[in-house]
A and B are shown apart, each in its own frame.
Chain A
Amino acid sequence: MSKFITSSIGKKVVMSLSGLFLMTFLMVHLTVNCFLFAGAEAFNTAAHFMVTNPIIKVVEPILALGFVVHIAWSIWITIQNMMARPVRYNKTNQGKNSSFASRNMFVLGGLVLTFLALHIANFYVKIKFTHEIGAVSYAGVEMHDTYTLVTSLFTIWWYDVIYVIGAILLGYHLSHGFWSAFQTIGFSNQIWRKRLTVIGYIFALVIAGGFAIIPTYFYFVQ
């Protein structure tokens, strides 16, 4: 097994599986976020359900590990791939043979990571550590007022711009990543390749669009 993880294909499988796991997380995350449109009580209750749910307590460290593995392996792969061509070409014309996203996964991922750091500082740190968050109670159950924390951040226009850019970068990463993850684990052929590419584009669009609409919406309605 150890030889597998360090082989070229094995390393890619690690990227693929961690990427697939992160994508399922994104779907759950976006679903919860959609409760924002249903008002304070709905969103706060959904958020409360998420933080108190025992399954989530187990999944949270796995998620963190998923990110760490995905990022660590991406650095490893990228360095090795750069070393495979010590002398660069004088002239290249890669736009002719491959997509922008496929050639810039590391840059896109790195930018997503930068956004992620800000995002965690905005919400996770405030909720978990500095407790800069109010409380509300519905039908006698006391919980964090996550709704106000989120919506008040989105009244600041430049935060909205950053969040929209973050969503678009993530969308680009996934426009290649989705299909690529299946190709890596061998789940593709002439027919499925076309299908997975289309599904991947739709997935990337839903994720990017979904995460971009939320800050935009709250900027304009408030």
Chain B
Amino acid sequence: MNLKLKVWRQKNAKAKGGFEIYNISNISPDTSFLEMLDILNEQLINEGKEPVAFDHDCREGICGMCSLFINGRAHGPDDDVTTCQLHMRKFKDGETVTIEPWRSAAFPVIKDLVVEREAFEKIQQAGGYVSVNTGGVPDGNAIAIPKEDADEAMDAAACIGCGACVATCKNSSAMLFVAAKVSQFAKLPQGKPEAARRAKAMVAKMDELGFGGCTNTGACEAECPKGISISHIARLNREYLVAKLKD
């Protein structure tokens, strides 16, 4: 395959940045998107140019490190996959591929396609955990949990914190991420004691960090590589309302 790549280049957080056009040829349709960028970078290095910086780690869709807004969509044209799991067969030969970093006030660009997603960590630190006293590992079946509740919690826990929901939302809202992190505990007995505090603290942190508000467009759910449902956002709204009413 031959492709024309339109890539966002930006020296550092302060620099202005702009698009560069690169032509790349002889790409196998079975190459993954990030491998294609590796090939581009090799080409750039051989030409004595600065390679394109982009985030990645596991390259198997589980770590949430890769990002990229490809042809107008977070994680590219394929559904329910991360950019590292996207393959070039999803593109047409000769196509122009526009590659941009996540765009959000809360996710500033550090370099080229790399953005700072520390805001998610701060939200997590505000309450996305269960406080436990360490000790012996509790017996596996000591706390009985209904299957449906366990399944709901597990679905929410699938969130890998990639930020595609924020990137794709027209309001840069982090509601799907926060909803997933609240929801993974909300239905479990271990999570319930801190439920009210958790919802309030995480929402307050999210608001403070400059994310927009949710207008229920559902774009996040459509682009989330883990298919997290916006029903979890309804649960977060409920948890938050109940917590605030009890204040």
Give the residue of A81, A86, A91, A96 whose beta carbon is less than 8 angstroms from that of B215: A81
Judging by beta carbons under 8 Å apart, are A184 and B104 in contact?
Answer: no
Contact among A8, A11, A83, A93 with B73 in the assembled complex (CB-CB below 8 Å):
A93
Is A4 part of the binding interface, using a Cβ–Cβ cutoff of 8 Å? yes
Q: Judge if A152 is at the interface, Cβ distance under 8 Å.
A: no
Q: Which residues of chain A are near B112, meaning CB under 8 Å? A: none
- Known: A89-B69, A90-B19, A189-B231. Contact between A8 and B219, CB under 8 A? no
Asked if B234 and A189 sit within 8 Å, CB to CB, the answer is yes
Q: Are A99 and B104 in contact (CB under 8 A)?
A: no
B206 CB-CB contact with A under 8 Å: yes
Asked if A110 lies at the interface with its beta carbon under 8 angstroms from chain B, I say no
A184 and B236 CA atoms in complex are apart in Å by: 10
Which B230-247 residues sit within 8 Å CB-CB of chain A?
A: 230-231, 233-241, 244, 247
| A187 cross-chain contacts in B, Cβ below 8 A | 234, 238
- Cβ-Cβ contact count across A and B, 8 Å cutoff: 142
Docked-complex contact A184 and B216, CB < 8 angstroms: yes
Chain B residues with Cβ below 8 Å from A89 are 69, 72, 100, 103
Contact with A77, one of B213, B219, B236, B247 (Cβ below 8 angstroms): B213
B156 shortest CB reach to chain A, Å: 12
| Cβ distance A103 to chain B, nearest Cβ, rounded Å | 6
Within 8 A of B (CB), among A73-91: 77, 80-91
The size class of the interface chain B forms with chain A is: 35 or more
Q: Is B105 in contact with chain A by the CB < 8 A criterion? A: yes
Given A7-B207, A9-B203 in contact, is the A94-B213 Cβ separation under 8 Å? no
Which residues of B are found within 8 Å of A61, using beta-carbon distances?
none
| Contact status A84-B106, CB under 8 Å | yes
Question: Is B222's CB under 8 angstroms from A97's CB?
Answer: yes
On whether A9 and B240 interact (CB within 8 A), knowing A84-B106, A105-B215, the answer reads yes
The interface residues of chain A lying within 8 Å CB-to-CB of B12 are none
Q: Quick one: CB contact mask for A144-158 with B, threshold 8 Å, 1 for yes? A: 000000000000000
Query: Across the two chains, which residue of chain A brings its CB closest to B8?
Result: A90
Partner of B237, one of A9, A80, A92: A9
CB distance from B4 to the nearest CB of A (A): 13
Specify which chain A residues have a CB less than 8 angstroms from the CB of B234 in the assembled complex. 183, 186-189, 193
Among B105, B168, B207, B244, the residue within 8 A (CB) of A8 is: B207
Q: Which residues of A contact B (CB under 8 A)?
A: 1, 4, 7-13, 77, 80-94, 96-99, 102-103, 105, 176, 179-180, 183-190, 193
5 chain-A/chain-B pairs, Cβ below 8 angstroms = A1-B247, A7-B207, A84-B172, A86-B105, A98-B222
